[in-house]
Structure 1
Amino acid sequence: MGRVVAPGSLWALWLVPVALATVYFQEEFLDGESWRNRWIPSTNDSNFGHFRLSSGKFYGDIQKDKGLQTTENAKFYAISSRFKPFSNKGKTLVIQYTVKHEQKMDCGGGYVKIFPSDLDQKNLNGKSQYYIMFGPDICGFDIKKVHVILFYKSQYHSNKKPIRCKVDGFTHLYTLTLRPDLTYEVQIDTDIIESGNIEEDWNLEELRKMEKSALKMPKNWDKLSQNDKPSDVPSQDWDKHFLDASANKPSDWNSELDGEWQPSLIQKPKYKDGLKSENVDNSDYKDVWLHQKIENPGYLQDFELSEYENIGVIGLELWQVRSGTIFDNFLITDDENYAAEFGMKTWGRTKDPEKEMDMIQAKEEIKKAREEEEQLIKENIKEKYFQTQHVKDEL
């Protein structure tokens, strides 16, 4: 049975013996420079880096492994491609592509973003609202992770589980699957690296809980006896806390994605016999009353946590210190089996030849280095011989 290709992507039409699947977007860069008709670079900043079509220094197939390659160091990049808008409501959504950091990435992004159809592609920049951000991000020794960020209720929510990305220079296949039952999977090179429930694994606890009370504590709360405290104030449901002065902001904290960082709150030691504990100096901090949160009895599971009405653009909006990354084999579909087969027909067929070519090149480089070293030694020996002969002639 043939697959169904969304209108607007007829250039990729071909028949395969798989179950009926809807392919919203597919890009392999097999038609040369025609990719420039489909991918629109942003002109929001004249200093944005440029892409070129390349298979890199080593590859499994010089034609099939061609993809968008970053070309300039220490640059922001912004480019995108449009397709017919669709909704994934009630459907599985699979986002898949390959990324190759042949420059051995030291600091930079290798992720993709999925945007609403009303994105102004010419104005794409870091502040452009997106639906989904997925893929590897590397910077130094601390950050080597796979981002999975979902836009929900006007906020960006990150997966709470640490997902480590690949850090070598070979091509890797990244796959994100979001299902209508709120389960998900993250795969790298067809291996399931992480999975679970979207409601539980994203920072969405506030949906299940509500504040028990919004009452303000009286100014003289500490001085009141238990009998004198107002009956409408939940005395046993409140704990007194203050800011942790020793807390430091994590090195990978991103204010745009994670919000404004604030130090954690720790509980103040209890008073005893009217004496304040000497272990904690709270002179520089104000007390903070924390609302106790309870399970919301009226909460209903929200199946729209990962559903979007007008998905219409895929793009690369990222920063790289050292350029050379190659993006290829983009796919957006509703069929997990088709995505798996497409991955094996692209990345699966060229991954081993790519490593073989890299190994051959490495051996040739070692051989060349040895030959150059031997030649240098011979020249030094020859130079010393002539110097010695010159001294003898003078004597």
Structure 2
Amino acid sequence: MRSAALSVILAAAAAGANASEEPKPTFKATEISAPFIEQFTDDWAERWTPSEATKKTPVGGETFSYIGQWKVEEPETVLIEGDKGLVAKSKAAHHAISAPFGSAVDFSEKPLVVQYEVKYQKGGNCGGGYIKLLADGFQTSGKEFADTTPWVVMFGPDLTCPGNKVHFIFRHKNPITGEYEEKHLSPAPKPAFGKDTNLYTLAINPDNTYEVRFNGLVQKVGNVLEDFEPAVNPPEFIDDPEDRKPEDWVDKKKIPDPDAVKPDDWDENEPYEIPDEDAVKPEGWLDNEPEMIPDPEAEKPEEWDDEEDGDWVAPLVRNPACDVAPGCGEWKRPYKANPKYKGKWYAPMIDNPEYKGEWKPRRIPNPGYFQDLEPVKNLDKIGGVGIELWTMTEDILFNNIYVGHSIADAELLGNETWVVKHQLEAAATAKVLELDQEEGPSFKEDPLGFVRKKVTDFIDAASADPVGAFMAYPATGAGLIGSFIAVFGLLGVLVSLIGSSQKPVPKPSKKTDAPTPDDEKKDEKAPVAPAGGKSKEETPVKKRK
């Protein structure tokens, strides 16, 4: 994950590149057709309705309103002119919004394909980015959409504080009781999300197979009858809940040997270690020198008041005489392992002659048993899409939602939208990495030195020609000066630049603490995954014919 500092450089570099390179591409609505495609064009409000409902927490029963604000706007870093997305604007708030389909989507005979983009513009914190495909018949009143609204499939990313995963959950109806139960893909894929635009794709087929993709790369494939918890079909036999273990059942496999006797020469009082009588005090040992002495260079602070603060005592430092001698102070004989030590005696363990084995309750037919061999075909129809989540991360952007039956069309839409953004974001990242190749320390090797050099170069140029400096260093001037002052603080930058002229730090005393230098951590630069559609190793997906 990139550090905050690297993210600042990335934004500055992208801003500088946009000022001098080719113009940005312009958004154009797709011509691909599907039961539902949403690109948040100007008429988006005709389809989407923010919720006015309330929700009650399962623990404690507290009631919350969906006060999280929604806006359709361009991302903070514009990659495509006119390309807007739905943004969850509020931090630490419950959000809910939904849109109905023109007609219900039935995927009992055709694949269900769901795809959309999510961009965590503020980076990772606790925040969901998943969507819900709502059961047909419950999507008509968007103002009442809440966590209790029935849904069929839930899919998408979730930052779980800490950690992350891509949810794939479906609600299956018990054909005997009529009750619904959530089935969770396990284990769920856990790709790195970052701050770039990411593409999430799910395909569910009538033959019960599924496929989960992240940025066009297949993360997991399988069968819904095998990879979900709890399992779709319950076990045919279960433990009898009324069966009890007999009181005389012996399930101890080993017991202490009742005939064993402690040997006469076994002494449990012998210590584990004894003084080494063969050890000799090293020559030159300073018996009369203490290991710690008052600091001879320490001075009583001027503000010290003997009446209020008591007698001033210099802080202790290591005795320098001890550094050139084998040791100081009273010499004590070292310890060694006691050859006579045996510890507490225990009788050896033997097989229990009365052992009957591990007790298990008898098995009986499961009264709730059923067998659904075609769960996908039996799922409810879908009537709409909703986003209902709680998040500590603001400005989560959703875009280019596809719900249909064609994985090929989803790939084409991804090529038109996400691939373009991915290439631009990858180019901006590559431009940042080029800075590491310039003269001076690289960001990876010495982050603070790298920042100091960039700021110093700009200050030197600005002292002679301020306007020219900003023109010559658009990324450094606008990005590094403004952003790094905001990130590290003006004082921190100035101190790092004029550190050689600082006064010596006074030695600690009773009322002062020695300053502790900050740790400098190196950043790991996450490689950008290529788009694709077959496996994690393949190249970007091209349009299928």
> How far apart are the structure 2 equivalents of 1:371 and 1:109?
31
Kindly provide the CA deviation profile for residues 167-209 of structure 1, in whole angstroms up to 9, marking residues without a partner as x.
2101101000001111111001110011111110012546263
> How far apart are the structure 1 equivalents of 2:89 and 2:224?
36
The answer on 1:24 being equivalent to 2:50 is: no
Residue correspondences, number: 307
Letter of the structure 1 residue corresponding to residue 49 of structure 2: I
SS of the residue corresponding to residue 412 of structure 2 reads helix
Which residue, out of 466, 480, 501, partners 1:366? 480
Displacement after TM superposition at 1:293 (Å) = 8.0
> How far apart are the structure 2 equivalents of 1:377 and 1:150?
56
Letter of the structure 1 residue corresponding to residue 374 of structure 2: F
**Distance 1:356-1:368 versus aligned 2 partners, 3 A rule:** farther
1:167-316 equivalences in 2 (<5 Å): 167-205=193-231, 207=233, 209-211=235-237, 214=240, 216-217=242-243, 221-223=246-248, 272-273=352-353, 290=361, 292=363, 302-305=373-376, 307-316=378-387
Letter of the structure 1 residue corresponding to residue 248 of structure 2: K
Contact 1:69–1:327 (CA under 8 A) maintained in structure 2? yes
Match of 1:248 in 2: none
Which residue, out of 168, 176, 187, partners 1:148? 168
> How far apart are the structure 1 equivalents of 2:204 and 2:378?
9
> How far apart are the structure 2 equivalents of 1:165 and 1:306?
29
Letter of the structure 2 residue corresponding to residue 23 of structure 1: A
Contact 1:173–1:190 (CA under 8 A) maintained in structure 2? yes
Letter of the structure 2 residue corresponding to residue 68 of structure 1: L
Letter of the structure 2 residue corresponding to residue 108 of structure 1: G
Match of 1:101 in 2: 120
SS of the residue corresponding to residue 132 of structure 2 reads strand
> How far apart are the structure 1 equivalents of 2:395 and 2:241?
57
Displacement after TM superposition at 1:215 (Å) = 7.2
> How far apart are the structure 2 equivalents of 1:339 and 1:206?
28
Unaligned runs of 5+ in 2: 1-27, 55-64, 174-179, 253-350, 433-473, 502-545
Displacement after TM superposition at 1:352 (Å) = 2.0
Q: CA RMSD in A?
A: 3.9
SS of the residue corresponding to residue 149 of structure 2 reads coil
Match of 1:132 in 2: 153
Contact 2:120–2:197 (CA under 8 A) maintained in structure 1? yes
**Distance 1:337-1:290 versus aligned 2 partners, 3 A rule:** farther
SS of the residue corresponding to residue 36 of structure 1 reads helix
- The structure whose residues are more often strand, as a share, is 1
Contact 2:133–2:153 (CA under 8 A) maintained in structure 1? yes
- Greater Rg over alpha carbons, structure: 2
Which residue, out of 187, 201, 204, partners 1:161? 187
Which residue, out of 79, 92, 102, partners 1:60? 79
Identity of aligned residues (%): 25
Contact 2:110–2:405 (CA under 8 A) maintained in structure 1? yes
> How far apart are the structure 2 equivalents of 1:370 and 1:107?
25
The answer on 1:37 being equivalent to 2:31 is: no
Letter of the structure 2 residue corresponding to residue 91 of structure 1: K
**Distance 1:74-1:362 versus aligned 2 partners, 3 A rule:** farther
Contact 2:237–2:366 (CA under 8 A) maintained in structure 1? no
Which residue, out of 70, 74, 85, partners 1:51? 70
> How far apart are the structure 1 equivalents of 2:239 and 2:355?
29
**Distance 1:159-1:47 versus aligned 2 partners, 3 A rule:** closer
Displacement after TM superposition at 1:322 (Å) = 2.2
Displacement after TM superposition at 1:319 (Å) = 0.8
**Distance 1:321-1:218 versus aligned 2 partners, 3 A rule:** closer
**Distance 1:194-1:215 versus aligned 2 partners, 3 A rule:** closer
SS of the residue corresponding to residue 131 of structure 1 reads strand
Contact 1:174–1:189 (CA under 8 A) maintained in structure 2? yes
Contact 2:184–2:230 (CA under 8 A) maintained in structure 1? no
Unaligned runs of 5+ in 1: 1-11, 17-21, 226-238, 241-270, 278-286, 385-395
Which residue, out of 325, 333, 340, partners 2:411? 340
> Which stretch has the larger CA shift, 73-82 or 84-93?
84-93
> How far apart are the structure 1 equivalents of 2:192 and 2:227?
22
Match of 1:9 in 2: none
The answer on 1:319 being equivalent to 2:339 is: no
SS of the residue corresponding to residue 94 of structure 2 reads strand
> How far apart are the structure 2 equivalents of 1:215 and 1:318?
39
Give the structure, 1 or 2, with the largest relative contact order (CA under 8 Å, sep 6 or more).
1
Match of 2:94 in 1: 76
